[in-house]
Amino acid sequence: MIVLSGTIGAGKTSLTTMLAEHLGSNAYYESVDDNPILPLFYDDPKRYGFLLQNYFLNKRLESIKEAQTSPLNVIDRSIYEDRLLFQLNADLGRATQIEASTYSDLLNNMMEQVDTSSDAQTKDPDLLIHISVSFETMLERIKRRGRDFEQIENDPSLYEYYKELTERYTKWFEAYDRSPKLQIDGDKYDFVEDEAAAQAVLKQVDDALAELNLKA
C-alpha cells in the first residue's frame, strides 16, 4: 500500500487520484463530503469528537483491508494520523484526555486484528508519502475549497487549531518509523494546479518505489 499523509488542504485527495491513475491501482478516500458526523463535530467538538474518531477508525480499517488485495493501492490518509488529531483536540479542550487515551488503546487493539496472514498483506504502508505545506498555504487552500465548517471566518478558534496542527504534523512525520517515507514539498510543487509540478512529484514517487523494488 501507498498511504498519504498531510495536514488539512495539503492535497492528499488530489495526489491519491493522480497516483492511482499513474500506477493503475485503486484509490481509497477519506469520508468527508459524505460524512454525517463531521459538520456536527465542527459545531460541537466536545460532544462529537470521540464519535467522529471512531467513525474514521472504522472507515480506515475498511480501506486497509480492501487495499491489501492488490499491489500499490493508494489510501489518502494514514490511520496513525488520527491519534495526532484527536490528541490535539484533547489538548485544546475539544475532547477529554480520557477519550484520547481510550481512542489510542482502541486503535492499537483494532490494528492488532488486521489480517496479515498472507505474505503479500501488511497493515503498514509499503511507502508513506507526506505532503508538507506551510501554515499560510494550508489556510489559503482551506479558503479555496470553501467548506463552510472549515472556515476561520465562521469559527475564529480554528486559527489556533490549524496553526498547532501544522506544527504537530512536522514533528509527527519526523518521528514516523512504521515504513519507508517520502516527503513532498507542497509549497514548491503545486501539483493540483501545475502540470509540470505534478509530473515532478510523480517522478519523485516513481524513484522512491524503484528504490524499494516496488512495482504495480
Per the annotation, does 77 bind a ligand? Answer: yes
Per the annotation, does 79 bind a ligand? Answer: no
In the set 33, 34, 43, 76, the catalytic residue is 76
- Name 4's bridge partners: 129
Per the annotation, does 14 bind a ligand? Answer: yes
Amino acid at 119: D
The verdict on whether 76 is a catalytic residue reads: yes
Per the annotation, does 96 bind a ligand? Answer: no
d(CA 95, CA 76): 25
Per the annotation, does 215 bind a ligand? Answer: no
DSSP label at residue 188? T
Per the annotation, does 129 bind a ligand? Answer: no
Per the annotation, does 11 bind a ligand? Answer: yes
CA 22 to chain centre: 20
d(CA 152, CA 162): 9
Q: Who's near 71: CB < 8 A, 6+ residues apart?
A: 25, 120, 214, 215, 216
Query: Binding site for substrate: which residues?
Result: 30, 42, 53, 77, 82, 150
Indicate the annotated binding residues for ATP. 6-14, 141-145
Q: So which residues are the catalytic ones?
A: 76
Annotated binding site: 6-14, 30, 42, 53, 77, 82, 141-145, 150
